[in-house]
Amino acid sequence: MTRSEASRTNGAQSHGPVTPEGKARSSMNALKHGLTARDMCIAVENPKEFDAFQQRYFDEFQPATQVELDLIKEMISAKWRQERIWNLEAATIDFRMECTKPDIDKHWILPPRTRAAIAMMEEATGSKSLQTYSRYDAMLSRMYHRALRTLTLLRATPMPEPAAIEPETIVETEVTPTVTPGPVRIAVLQNEPAPPSTSAARTENDAPDNPAAPPLPRAA
């Protein structure tokens, strides 16, 4: 069996990742990482070394989500720049040692360790570059470990499942129609006696207490 035939046979037997974690990581394979050697490397750094450095992180942590990928990228950026600080610090001390070597050789014969100590003291009291390197080193270290702790906590905490949305229940309510009352009609009996007139004669009981005065006599 040739190599191509064996590859087709093995590919037919493979069904891909089965677990949810494996499927999630497989879905991130085609995602662009976003960190390139052109953006991260300076002129004296090897882009191939950065690509290999970055790939080791992705192979170890296998990001399954965009958030995990961002945290791993933050770790890569912090650690790569931290190692750059270490190299710059060593180069600075070497440069100072070369600058002071002629004056020292005139008076003493010193071992390399002592030369390095003298160079560090002069650099620390002169340009303050070592203090600057130390501050950046501490800042990048905190950045790296903060991203690592967040990634570890994120993977240790189970993500809550989204709550199921229940369909709305429609309750039918019987509505009683409202009856508007109409005008009220009053029936009048035909044989009912008519009410007494106000101009009718009064009874004896209704006579006034003071009788009318007699007419006055006429003059002759």
pLDDT at residue 50, rounded to an integer: 95
Instruction: Output 197 or 167, whichever has higher pLDDT.
Output: 167
Does 187 map to a domain?
no
pLDDT at residue 148, rounded to an integer: 97
Instruction: Output 4 or 95, whichever has higher pLDDT.
Output: 95
Max mean pLDDT range (24-33, 91-100, 168-177, 191-200): 91-100
pLDDT at residue 27, rounded to an integer: 44
Is the pLDDT at 192 greater than 80? The verdict is no
Does 179 map to a domain?
no
Does 41 map to a domain?
yes
Does 211 map to a domain?
no
What domain range is 43 assigned to? 22-156
pLDDT at residue 128, rounded to an integer: 77
Q: Tell me the pLDDT band of 11, cut-offs 50, 70 and 90.
A: very low
Does 178 map to a domain?
no
Does 44 map to a domain?
yes
Does 4 map to a domain?
no
pLDDT at residue 99, rounded to an integer: 75
Span 134-190, pLDDT tens digits:
899 999 999 999 999 999 999 998 877 766 666 666 666 666 766 666 666 655 555
> Among 4-18, 152-166, 204-218, where is mean pLDDT lowest?
4-18
Is the pLDDT at 209 greater than 80? The verdict is no
Please give the tally of structural domains in the chain: 1
Does 68 map to a domain?
yes
Q: What average pLDDT does the chain have?
A: 74
Angle subtended by helix axes 47-61 and 66-107, to nearest 10? 140
Span 26-60, pLDDT tens digits:
444 444 556 788 889 999 899 999 999 999 999 99
Q: Say how many C-beta atoms besides its own lie within 10 A of residue 3's C-beta.
A: 7
